[in-house]
């Protein structure tokens, strides 16, 4: 395993006495791609939000390149990890795409919103990379779901961090936009060596992305391993409590899965 | 037109309104009588001791209320959030009315008891409204407005109770003050309000980046590096103090905080780096112009400016509400 970029040790979170995450541990190597998979309500998104300190009050230790995140300010954390939230959510104020992407540079800006010398380049290159330049002057609220998701990715890229966390990045997107988003993220990993953590409940997407998987169920880690090993009835039953059919993909050689029933295989 | 060109226009417009307003009124004022006041002619006194301080107060109060509206709209992510609709103005009114009723003359850190009461009331109101929306985990327009309406009703009933138990003189003072007005003589009132509005404006200017991000969502703001809880606490405290300081002097002048930021956002866009200066300049000029109309339209009778702004603001509020999901 490469040098750990992110170490999670016994991370637990309870809200109003209810356990949401329990004793989650993982070692994420620099430049690796990880899919956090699990059924709805398994705690996947919550885990990302704990790592980003959007949720506070969790216990355990999280270290970024050996440094405890507890010692980092929110700005310092944002310089190291960029986050793309779940698609959706309305925008109440008519920010343009460029203005929104510019907000990704907040962690580098000074008081009074003063710009950092690297801002202009970072914004342009992020917009180019996410292919959103064509609608840079349009208001965010006027874009389609797929276009908006690319803008959110552009804003995260502008943040200039070497780790990207994405929460269900392709949920609700059509096939073309799913492919585009996957390509942007893949290129970032391959060309820039960025570490990628992506939440998904889509096993096929995780397997096609490759890398490693961390599976959660009821807030606990039930399985960790290479995504290629996910296509196994026992493991999928453990994660989703459902039965699956398996289909061999002649192009990639991967075993893809399709849901079959809601029973746990015995 | 580029938004920075708009800002220059706003600056020029605000200066023109500020300069012209003290010259307008029942008694004509010539340049000669301003520069060389004649003891026989009251024009110089009217200009220097009555109109100019009043215009200064109107500008400061207008800028303060407009900024407060802008900040609340960003913090609640809602164009209908203002000091008036959230019940902050009525909280400040209750605090001030308690101050008047109990005869709090004593000063605390150089502030009158009425000012301290108004700030305390403003803070209490925002704490209740924000607490309710957090408790319900619901920051939708309806939840927020209902919380504001509830706070407004509750505080209004307490103000009525105070009036009922007060003597005739105090009742009249409270009632007259509740109409919102800028009638006063001398520079004491503007000078008392300026530090709070100035400090509030400076703080908002420092935090424009945070305001931008908070207005697109708290989770996104946190992930981009905003210390959300601390920033919101600082903003709520500062803005409530600013509203309290303005309300304690001018009364609850309604709807300035609703109309001004909204109109500015339509013109210069939602980015607070431009929206804040535009809102300050427009809010200041708006209240100066409103007050000038209020004191001249039925001359020699002067209308309290609060009546005039509410007259404009009511239909504006309905228009925003009826515009549909874009504003909610």
Residue A167 lies in a domain: yes
Closest-CA distance of chain B to residue A173, Å: 20
Residue A262 lies in a domain: yes
CA separation (Å) from A105 to A55, B29, B92, B270? 22, 53, 38, 17
Q: Are B209 and A109 a contacting pair at CB < 8 A?
A: yes
Residue A145 has a pLDDT of: 86
Out of B216, B224, B225, the one facing A95 most closely (by C-beta) is: B216
pTM: 0.90
Q: Is the pLDDT of residue B31 over 90?
A: no
Number of domains, chain A: 2
Out of B77, B209, B223, the one facing A83 most closely (by C-beta) is: B223
Phi and psi, residue A164, nearest 5°: -120, 125
Residues of chain A in Cβ contact (below 8 Å) with chain B = 49, 52-54, 73-79, 81-83, 85, 89-96, 99-100, 103-104, 106-107, 109, 111-113, 141, 155, 159
* Residue B36 DSSP one-character state: S
Neighbours of B168 (CB within 10 A): 7
Residue B4 has a pLDDT of: 78
Query: Which value, in Å, is the radius of gyration of the alpha carbons in chain B?
Result: 20
Same domain, A101 and A163: yes
Q: Is the pLDDT of residue B313 over 50?
A: yes
Task: Produce one character per residue of B192-217: b if its CB has 16 or more CB atoms within 10 Å, e if not.
Answer: bbbebbeebbebbbebbbbbbbbbbb
Q: Sign of torsion, CA A135 A137 A140 A141?
A: negative
Out of B207, B222, B265, the one facing A54 most closely (by C-beta) is: B222
* Cβ pair B70, B261 in contact under 8 A: yes
Same domain, A244 and A162: no
Contacting residues of A for B228, CB less than 8 Å apart: 74
Same domain, A183 and A258: no
- Using CA atoms, how far apart are residues B83 and B159, in angstroms rounded to an integer? 17
Closest-CA distance of chain B to residue A181, Å: 19
Same domain, A190 and A62: yes
Contacting residues of A for B223, CB less than 8 Å apart: 52, 54, 78, 81-83, 85
pLDDT band at B1 (very low <50, low <70, confident <90, very high): low
Contacting residues of B for A79, CB less than 8 Å apart: 225
Selected for mutation to probe chain B from A51, A78, A93, A159 (highest B CB count within 10 Å) is: A93
- Using CA atoms, how far apart are residues A99 and A82, in angstroms rounded to an integer? 17
Residue B13 has a pLDDT of: 95
Percent share of chain B, pLDDT over 70: 93
Residue B326 has a pLDDT of: 47
Domains belonging to chain B, first-starting first, are 3-24+63-321 (1.10.3470.10)
Q: Which of B152, B160, B325 is nearest to B254 (CA)?
A: B152
Q: Are B224 and A73 a contacting pair at CB < 8 A?
A: no
Q: Are A103 and B224 a contacting pair at CB < 8 A?
A: yes
Q: Is the pLDDT of residue B328 over 50?
A: no
pLDDT band at B327 (very low <50, low <70, confident <90, very high): very low
Query: Which value, in Å, is the radius of gyration of the alpha carbons in chain A?
Result: 19
DSSP calls for A104-148:
TTGGG--GGGPPPTTHHHHHHHHHHHTT-GGGTTSBGGGS-HHHH
* Cβ pair B286, B280 in contact under 8 A: no
Neighbours of B104 (CB within 10 A): 18
Size of interface A-B (CB pairs under 8 A): 90
* Cβ pair B33, B45 in contact under 8 A: no
Residue A199 has a pLDDT of: 95
Neighbours of A39 (CB within 10 A): 15
Residue A235 lies in a domain: no
Contacting residues of B for A53, CB less than 8 Å apart: 222
CB proximity under 8 Å: B 296-325 to A: 325
Lowest-pLDDT choice from A27-41, A51-65, B265-279, B306-320: B306-320
Provide the residue count of chain A.
266
Residue A101 lies in a domain: yes
Residue A41 lies in a domain: yes
Region B15-28: what's the mean pLDDT?
86
- Using CA atoms, how far apart are residues B252 and B304, in angstroms rounded to an integer? 11
Residue B139 has a pLDDT of: 57
Same domain, A209 and A246: no
Residue A225 lies in a domain: yes
Q: Are A85 and B213 a contacting pair at CB < 8 A?
A: no
Q: Which two tokens stand for residue B258?
A: 């609703």
Same domain, A8 and A88: yes
A160: left (phi over 0), alpha (psi -120 to 50) or beta: left
Region B150-176: what's the mean pLDDT?
86
Residue range B113-143, pLDDT digits in tens: 778 888 889 889 988 888 887 777 665 667 7
Domain of A63: which CATH number? 3.40.50.300
Residue range A143-179, pLDDT digits in tens: 988 899 999 999 999 999 999 999 998 887 888 888 8
Q: Which two tokens stand for residue A200?
A: 């998904």
Give every residue of chain A whose pLDDT is below 70, as ranges. Answer: 1-3, 88-90, 262-266
Residue A266 lies in a domain: yes
Same domain, A222 and A250: no
Same domain, A15 and A138: yes
Closest-CA distance of chain A to residue B193, Å: 23
Residue A64 has a pLDDT of: 95
Same domain, A131 and A255: no
Same domain, A266 and A196: no
Out of B79, B212, B269, the one facing A103 most closely (by C-beta) is: B212
Residue with the larger pLDDT of the pair B180 and A78: A78
Residue A251 structural domain: 240-266
Residue with the larger pLDDT of the pair B170 and B212: B212
Same domain, A189 and A265: no
Residue A177 has a pLDDT of: 86
* Cβ pair A30, A4 in contact under 8 A: yes
Contacting residues of B for A81, CB less than 8 Å apart: 223
Residue A134 has a pLDDT of: 93
Percent share of chain B, pLDDT over 90: 35
Region B299-324: what's the mean pLDDT?
82
Q: Is the pLDDT of residue B168 over 70?
A: yes
Closest alpha carbon within chain A to B324: A92
Contacting residues of B for A74, CB less than 8 Å apart: 222, 225-228
Report CA dihedral (A48, A50, A55, A59) to the nearest 10 degrees: 160
Same domain, A217 and A244: no
């Amino acid at each position: 395993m490469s040098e750990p970029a992110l170490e999670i040790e016994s991370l637990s979170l309870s809200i109003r006495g209810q356990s949401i995450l329990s004793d989650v541990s993982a070692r994420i190597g620099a430049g690796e791609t990880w899919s956090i998979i699990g059924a709805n309500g398994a705690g996947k998104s919550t885990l990302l939000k704990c790592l980003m300190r959007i949720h506070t009050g969790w216990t355990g230790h999280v270290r970024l390149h050996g440094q405890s995140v507890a010692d980092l300010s929110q700005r310092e954390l944002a310089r190291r990890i960029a986050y793309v939230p779940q698609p959706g959510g309305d925008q109440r104020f008519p920010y343009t795409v460029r203005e929104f992407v510019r907000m990704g540079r907040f962690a580098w800006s000074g008081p009074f919103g003063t710009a950092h010398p690297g801002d202009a380049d970072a914004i342009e290159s992020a917009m180019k990379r996410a292919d959103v330049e064509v609608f840079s002057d349009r208001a965010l609220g006027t874009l389609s779901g797929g276009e908006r998701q690319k803008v959110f990715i552009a804003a995260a890229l502008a943040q200039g961090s070497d780790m990207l966390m994405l929460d269900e990045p392709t949920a609700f997107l059509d096939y073309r936009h799913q492919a585009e988003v996957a390509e942007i993220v893949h290129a970032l990993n391959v060309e820039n060596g960025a570490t990628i953590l992506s939440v998904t409940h889509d096993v096929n997407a995780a397997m096609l992305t490759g890398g490693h998987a961390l599976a959660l169920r009821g807030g606990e880690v039930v399985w960790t391993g290479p995504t290629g090993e996910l296509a196994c009835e026992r493991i999928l039953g453990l994660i989703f409590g459902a039965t699956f059919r398996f289909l061999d993909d002649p192009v990639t050689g991967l075993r893809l899965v399709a849901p079959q029933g809601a029973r746990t295989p015995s | 037109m580029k938004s920075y060109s708009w800002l220059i226009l706003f600056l020029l417009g605000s200066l023109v309104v500020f300069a012209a307003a003290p010259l307008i009124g029942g008694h004509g004022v010539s340049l000669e009588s301003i520069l060389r006041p004649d003891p026989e002619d009251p024009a110089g006194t009217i200009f220097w001791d009555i109109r100019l301080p009043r215009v200064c107060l109107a500008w400061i109060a207008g800028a303060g209320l407009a900024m407060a509206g802008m900040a609340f709209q960003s913090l609640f992510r809602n164009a209908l959030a203002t000091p008036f609709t959230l019940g902050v103005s009525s909280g400040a009114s209750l605090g001030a009315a308690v101050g008047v009723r109990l005869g709090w003359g004593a000063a605390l850190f150089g502030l009158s008891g009425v000012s301290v009461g108004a700030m305390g009331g403003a803070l209490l109101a925002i704490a209740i409204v924000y607490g309710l929306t957090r408790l319900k985990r619901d920051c939708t327009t309806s939840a927020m407005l209902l919380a504001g309406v509830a706070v407004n009703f509750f505080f209004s009933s307490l103000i009525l109770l105070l009036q009922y138990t007060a003597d005739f003189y105090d009742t009249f003072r409270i009632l007259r003050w509740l109409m919102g007005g800028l009638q006063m003589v001398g520079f004491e009132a503007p000078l008392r309000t300026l530090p709070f509005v100035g400090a509030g404006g400076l703080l908002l200017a420092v935090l424009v980046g945070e305001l931008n991000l908070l207005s697109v969502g708290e989770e996104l703001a946190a992930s981009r590096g905003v210390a959300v809880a601390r920033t919101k606490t600082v903003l709520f405290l500062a803005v409530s103090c600013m509203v309290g300081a303005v309300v304690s002097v001018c009364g609850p002048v309604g709807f300035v905080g609703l109309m001004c930021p909204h109109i500015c956002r339509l013109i210069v866009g939602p980015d607070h780096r431009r929206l804040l200066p535009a809102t300050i300049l427009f809010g200041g000029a708006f209240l100066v112009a409103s007050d000038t109309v209020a004191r001249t339209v039925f001359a020699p009778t002067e209308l309290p400016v609060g009546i005039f702004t509410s007259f404009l603001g009511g239909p504006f509020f309905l228009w925003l509400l009826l515009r549909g999901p874009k504003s909610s």
